[in-house]
Structure 1
Amino acid sequence: MFEVLAAGGWLMLPIILCSIAVIAISIERYWTLNPQKIAPKHLLAQVWGWIKGNQLDGNKLRELKQSSELGKVLAAGLSNSRHGREVMKDSIQEAANQVIHDMERYLGALGTIAATAPLLGLLGTVLGMIKVFTAIMLQGTGNAGVLAGGISEALITTAAGLCVAIPAMMFHRFFQRRVDTLVVTMEQEAIKLVDALHSDRRVDVKAV
């Protein structure tokens, strides 16, 4: 295996580093973007129970904010709920923007690797073919070893770049979709809370 990697030339080093980054980011994001950790299903009902029982105070708000990303969004809205519907919505939006930014962390790097890895492989292919044609120009076509080495370098880097880029693209799409789904879920929960507190059409939070 080491001989194959070495045959790919110096461009194999950044490709290998990209593969390590893809694995690390994918594991970290899979652990972090757990729907049960980001947006617990019964959190809104619990918050509504606190409100109905007049138990919502500073300690409860701190507990809510530290519980999850959805908790941060709801806590931001509740902290400003007495100022009216629009102010509450603005507070929720500001908190949601920060939460979304945190959830999308490293996804840009994953997308960049997915786009860059094939280009590194293509660069290796070009450099390998340059070696082949240089060898032909200097030594003719009789030195099969030199020709095979250049062609091998070209093919190995191309394959390695694609082997990194394909999983990176798949993971990027997967995590981006998960983030989008979580954002929709948190938006729905926040709207329920706003409607329950400020709408003429009262919402039964426990029923939805």
Structure 2
Amino acid sequence: MNDIANAFRADGAIWMYLILATSIIAIGIAIERFIFLFFKYNINAQAFMAQIQKLVMADNIDRAIKLCNAAPTRALPRVIKAGLTRADKGEVEIQNAMEEISLEVVPMVQKRTPALAAVANIATLLGLLGTVIGLIDAFKALESADPSMQQQMLSAGIALAMSTTAFGLIVAIPTLTAHLILTGMTKKILDEIDLYSVKLENMLVTRGKGAQ
């Protein structure tokens, strides 16, 4: 870590600051997505839908809607509520209502998570670019520097070059790890929406046929 700190103070360390900027962006995105995906949009879908099923089968739609209203920020309850509000309508209206809300909810759940992969790639590429330019500067110095200073300048150039690569990877690896975790949570939420919206539709259609 001392080598990286020294590289920030070295000439030509602009690459280190650019990588630092990508790390700040990555941290900001990761924290925001962790909060939203794990604490705002996520819900225990199985337990929630078990309650919804009991209420629907008991023909207590109003109570089921209130249950959805109790979790207004969660992704799944918003979609389920849309279907419940059309419970007495036909199958097409129920399906259309849930699809309409899904078109609002899905982009909110997916938002910014893919950017983490791009930020990780940018950090890696900036590290490699800093390495290449650092080596070019080092070898140029050998051509014009005093022989007594050549070894020192070559060592400094290579140290700076290697530091940019190291720092780029230090930023990229945790960023990709966060991207992997957040992508998994995003997929879980979206899969639950797809699964339970179909189950609710089937329940409401069955209920409607039974009432006829």
Q: 1:34 aligns with which of 22, 33, 38?
A: 38
One of 182, 187, 203 as aligned partner of 1:180: 187
Shift of 1:5: 2.9
How many Å separate the matches in 2 of 1:174 and 1:59? Answer: 32
1:95 aligns with 2:95: no
Aligned counterparts of 1:62 and 1:181: Cα–Cα separation in 2: 19
The answer for the alignment partner of 2:89 in structure 1 is 83
> Is the alpha carbon distance of 1:73 and 1:196 closer, same or farther for their aligned partners in structure 2, counting shifts above 3 Å?
same
Note if 1:167 corresponds to 2:174: yes
Deviations 1:107-149 (A, max 9, x none): 1221111111111001101110121121112126542222112
Match of 2:160 among 150, 153, 156: 153
Q: How does 1:2-21 map to 2 (within 5 A)?
A: 2-7=5-10, 9-21=13-25
Alignment of 1:58-77 (within 5 A): 60=66, 63=69, 66=72, 68-77=74-83
Q: 1:62: how far off? A: 7.2
Structure 2 residue 54 is matched with structure 1 residue 44: no
| Matched residue, 1:128 | 134
Do the aligned partners of 1:64 and 1:75 also contact (CA within 8 Å) in 2?
no
TM-score (normalizing by structure 2): 0.81
- For residue 13 of structure 2, what is the amino acid of its counterpart? G
Identity value in percent: 29
**How many pairs does the alignment contain?**
202
The answer to whether the Cα contact below 8 Å between 2:65 and 2:84 also exists between their aligned partners in 1 is no
Query: Is the alpha carbon distance of 1:169 and 1:141 closer, same or farther for their aligned partners in structure 2, counting shifts above 3 Å?
Result: farther
Root-mean-square deviation (CA, aligned residues, Å) is: 2.9
TM value normalised by structure 1 = 0.82
Q: CA deviation at 1:61?
A: 7.8
Q: Please, which moves more after superposition, 153-162 or 20-29?
A: 20-29
Segment drifting more, 151-160 vs 13-22: 13-22
